[in-house]
Amino acid sequence: MKLSTRSRYGTRLLLEMAIHYKEGPIQLAEIARRQEVSTKYLEQIIIPLKKAGYVNSMRGPKGGHMLAMSPDTIRLGEVVALLEGGLGVTECVDHPEGCRRAGFCMTRFLWKEISEAIRDRLDSFTLLDLVHMRPEDRDGVFNCISGPR
C-alpha cells in the first residue's frame, strides 16, 4: 500500500500543530514553509481535518490553526483513514457490498488481515508519540513524516 501525499502531508501538518500545541494558532503559510509543502495544498488538506474535529481555526491577524484536542488523543490510524478514505488495501475490504465476489473470494481474507495490521500499527502511535520520538528511534517511516519531503 502506498500512502498518498494527502495523508503524509496531513500527518506532517498535524505534527507541526502538536509540536506547537500550547503556543496558540499557527498559520498554514508557516507550516507550509517549514514542511516545504504548498500552502494551497495544505488549505485543501485541512478542510476534512477541521470537519472531523481535529483542528480549530481562528481568524484575524493573530489567527491560524491549532489542534482541537490533545495530541495524545489523536491516533495516526484515524488521521490516515480519514485522509485516504479508509485503510483497506483493496476496495472490497472497506466496501464489500461493492464486490460481487466478496462473499466467496479466496484472497479477500488476506487483504483484510493486511489492512487490519496496517490500521493496528498506525493506531499504536499518537501525535504525541511522534513529538517525543527521538531521531535515533525513528525508522524510515517516521523520517518521511517529520523530515522534508
Q: What's the CATH code of the domain at 40?
A: 1.10.10.10
Average pLDDT, the chain: 88
Q: Output the CA angle 75-79-83, nearest 5 degrees.
A: 170
78 part of a folded domain:
yes
Q: How many structural domains comprise the chain? A: 1
Residue 139 — very low, low, confident or very high, per pLDDT cuts 50/70/90?
A: low
pLDDT given at position 138? 56
146 part of a folded domain:
no
pLDDT given at position 136? 59
CB atoms within 10 A of CB 46: 20
pLDDT tens for 28-74 read 999 999 999 999 999 999 999 999 999 999 998 888 999 999 999 99
Is the per-residue pLDDT at 147 higher than 70? no
Domain span including residue 104: 5-140
pTM of the prediction?
A: 0.83
149 part of a folded domain:
no
121 part of a folded domain:
yes
